[in-house]
Amino acid sequence: MRAWITRALFLLVFLGAVAAFHQSRQNRPQRVQLADENQTLLVGNGTDIETLDVHLATGQPEHYVITSMFEGLVAPDTADPDKDGPGVALSWESADFIHWTFKLNPKAAWSDGTALTAADFLYSWQRMLSPELATDYSQMLHLLKGAEAFNQGKTKDFSTVGVKAADPHTLEITLEGPAPYFPGMLKHYAWFPVPKQAIEKHGTMTQRDTAWARPGNIVCNGPFKLKEWRLNHFISVDRNPHYWDAAQVGVKEIHFFPIDSYETEERVFLDGQLHYTFTVPLAKIPLYRVEKPAFFHQSLELATEYYRCNVTRPPMDNPKVRHALSLALDRSALVDQVIRSGHRPATGLTPPRVHPDYAELKRLHYDPEEARRLLAEAGFPGGRGFRKIEILTNSSGTARTVAEFFQESWKKNLGIEVSILQQEWQVYLDSQRKLSYDIARAGWVGDYMDPYTFLGTMRSTDGNNNTGWGNARYDELLLASTREKDVPRRLQIMQEAEGVLLDELPVIPIFWRMNSHLIRPEVQNWLPSLMSHRCYKAIRLGPYTPLKTAP
């Protein structure tokens, strides 16, 4: 009996302790609550960034951190991040879209207090184009007159490149050809200034892998400056007092968290540890779209998902076969019933809204009858004699699901056998470059608001073509577009070029991507952007508000 009383007492004390613990833990303030009080924005940032060296960086997570710390001549507009607002440059003008004059803000400065002048841009663009530094994005600057020759090492004289400092606050730029979209392009970090004083303190101008971009060493010119960087943990930035527009900056700090797993990110968001998620787990998007919680946001991205056809390998060398493959795909069914994440079925290569006056071509549609007819015309009636082909894809996200949908569609509608090969990212990229695939999944994110950023990749000489396809007329039209000063005429030429591309179909566009995010209600002024531009200084944090719906 006594033993039982002891046991019961013990159990009671134990349960009491658990209840007390439960009470005390449940009433802890959430991390966002503390962050709201301190005006700190907590942002999910995808994978860990590789570097903060503006010229060596390449990915989207890098883009998000770098644009908080650095600013180019042009910056995202506070009212619409896709529009061009003043950055280091107060104003700019060009009569012919070839010769540009940028007037720099005399208040522009580095975070160490030194003045930022036109000479800094000369230094930066020289560094970016130096063959010794071997940067991934140097091609973006090839728009500058003479830049390509300098980048390839054909000349060592940087004065041959079309950029001059007329005075410390005036930059004169000459381009290879007319580019009305040039100011918008300058929002890409490839064009950002880098601090000579910091770079040369830790190495030479063209030395890679020096420590200048590490905490304690880095000097920047954006609304925020680096505070702390722990690998795979977080990057924090705080207000840069020397920023020319410091009075506009809303929040005190931003913490970027590299969270590889989308499921983990969603969990920590719901647990009140993030204001903004990098994305949403694909499997959860349909649910959120139905439930429509106020914190779920979607916006169109300037990105196309497509399949490459290796036209050096029969039977994909036959345009009729490529058209048959495209016509046999019900893109709406894929997007609405299979992936269900809100993407838009593609009707061409260039996504909508890339330019207000560039109309969608609307060439691609679903027509299995026509697909079968074309395949028969190509010599494979009912798929007979068609060799088994392979879809090459990477292993992330919906890649596999999409490939399986295609496998099924082509089998059902055309009677052809398709297998799927999944490769790890670096191997998958390598296979495409070496043209060792039949059909490969690919995607392209636009660099600036102009159709050329998509169409240019399919020129026969472009490194991103990777299909073996080349068309003289297409190349000619694109070249002509780079020489045309009249904007409507230029767009017309590009539309014609896209027509040629869609007639030949070396790539089969599938859908235009939508971005999905979870955003807490207290975040204000975080505006959607086609180009994933963020105007950090405009963002404000309101008072703490608990999330409404629990999923």
Partner 1 sequence: MIRFILQRLFQGLIVIIAVISLTFLIVRLGPGNPFAKEREMPEYVRQNLEKLYGLDQPLHVQLGRNLWNFATLDLPVSYRLKGWTVGDIIAQGFPVSFTVGGCAFLIAIGIGIPAGALAAVRAGQFQDRATMLVATLGICVPSLVLGPLISLCFGLKLQWFNAGGWYDADDWVLPSVTLGLISAAAVARLTRGGLRETLAADHIRTARAKGLSESVIIMRHAFRLACLPLLNYLGPLAAGLISGSFVTETVFQLPGLGRHFISSALHKDFTLAMGLAAFFAVLIVGFNLLVDILQAWLNPRIRLTEK
User: Between residues 267 and 340, which has the closer beta carbon with respect to partner 1?
Assistant: 267
Name the residue type at position 263. E
User: Between residues 429 and 487, which has the closer beta carbon with respect to partner 1?
Assistant: 429
What dihedral angle (degrees, nearest 10) is formed by the CA atoms of 81, 83, 87, 93?
A: 180
User: Between residues 59 and 381, which has the closer beta carbon with respect to partner 1?
Assistant: 59
Of 304, 276, 293, nearest in space to 519 by CA: 276
User: Between residues 453 and 481, which has the closer beta carbon with respect to partner 1?
Assistant: 453
* Residues making contact with partner 1 (CB under 8 A): 21-22, 25-26, 28, 31, 47-48, 50-51, 53, 56, 58, 131-132, 134-139, 152-153, 208-214, 230-233, 257, 259-261, 263-264, 267-268, 270-271, 273, 423-427, 429-431, 433, 443, 462-464, 466
Shortest Å distance, C-beta 272 to partner 1? 9
Of 329, 320, 342, nearest in space to 510 by CA: 329
User: Between residues 53 and 71, which has the closer beta carbon with respect to partner 1?
Assistant: 53
> Where are the alpha helices (H) located in 96-176, listed in sequence order?
118-129, 147-151
User: Between residues 138 and 310, which has the closer beta carbon with respect to partner 1?
Assistant: 138
| 264 three-state secondary structure | helix
Shortest Å distance, C-beta 246 to partner 1? 28
| 255 three-state secondary structure | strand
User: Between residues 132 and 357, which has the closer beta carbon with respect to partner 1?
Assistant: 132
Please say whether the beta carbons of 163 and 121 come within 8 A.
yes
Of 215, 249, 247, 246, nearest in space to 231 by CA: 215
User: Between residues 113 and 463, which has the closer beta carbon with respect to partner 1?
Assistant: 463
Shortest Å distance, C-beta 470 to partner 1? 15
CA distance 189 to 81: 15
What's the first-to-final CA gap in the chain, in angstroms? 49
| 303 three-state secondary structure | strand
Shortest Å distance, C-beta 226 to partner 1? 13
User: Between residues 14 and 21, which has the closer beta carbon with respect to partner 1?
Assistant: 21
DSSP E strands in 383-531: the ranges are 389-393, 418-422, 439-445, 507-518, 523-524
The encoded tokens of residue 230 equal 């722990």
CA distance 235 to 59: 16
Shortest Å distance, C-beta 320 to partner 1? 28
CB neighbours (10 Å) of residue 37? 12
Name the residue type at position 141. L
Number of H helices and number of E strands within the chain?
17, 18
Shortest Å distance, C-beta 95 to partner 1? 32
CA distance 484 to 179: 9
